[in-house]
Amino acid sequence: MVNRGVESTETQPSTEPQPRPEPVFPLALLASKLIVGPPALIRLIDLIEASDSVAEFLSLVRELLPDHEVAIMAAIDEGQRIQRFCHYFNNQYFPLEDNYTDYTDDFSLMDFLHHIPVPLMGFSWDDYAQFNDFRDSFVLLLSMVESPYNNDERLPMLERVKDIVGKSLAELIPPDGWSLDDIHRMFEGSKYEGVVA
C-alpha cells in the first residue's frame, strides 16, 4: 500500500512497480556498480585473436612503464590502451612522433607494436661538428660509426672518447669508424642492438 498522506483514498496495495531505492551503504553501492551483463561475443573473439599482441603489449608496458601498468591495461579498447601508453611514455621518456590521440579502430595493438612512432633523428653536418655539446653516449655512438662528412673531424671526437672510456677502449675503434654493415654485423641480435637503430 502506498501512503499518499491525508488525502489518500487508496486501500488496496499498489500494483505499480516501485523504483529501486538508492544504495545507502558502501557495499550496496559497490554491488550496483559491479552489476554487468555478459561480455559481447565479438569482444571475446577479438581477445582470442589478439591474445599474442596483448601479451606482447603487456610485456612492453611492464618493461618500460611498470608503474602505469594498471592504468594502461584498464582501458576498454586497444586504441585507449595505445593512447594511455603514449601519454605515459611521453611524460617519462621523450615525445613520440605521431599524434597518439588519432588512433582508430583499424589500428590494432599489433600494428602499434610493429611501428612504435619513435622519431628518428640523424646528425646534420652542424650537429656533427658540435659533438662536444652532446651527452657522452651520443659521442660514443658517433665515434663508432664512420663519418658521412669529413674524417678530419673525427680526431677531436676520438680524443674525447679517450676521456670518456679510457685510452685502451678508445683504441679499439678504427680511426675512420666502422661502416654501417660492420655495425649491423657486430650488434644485431646482441643486447646492444639499440646501437643499430
30-68 residue pLDDT tens:
666 666 667 677 767 777 777 788 889 999 999 999 999
State which residues form the domain around 137: 125-195
Contact 98, 117 (CB under 8 A): yes
| Residues 188, 160 share a domain | yes
| Residues 107, 80 share a domain | yes
Counted domains in the chain:
2
Cα→Cα distances 110→50, 61, 106, 194, Å:
8, 14, 11, 21
100-143 residue pLDDT tens:
555 555 678 888 888 887 776 677 777 777 777 888 888 888 88
Most confident of 3-17, 22-36, 166-180: 166-180
| Residues 108, 141 share a domain | no
Q: If pLDDT is split at 50, 70 and 90, which confidence band does 87 have?
A: very high
| Residues 147, 90 share a domain | no
| Residues 129, 169 share a domain | yes
In the chain, % of residues over pLDDT 90 = 15
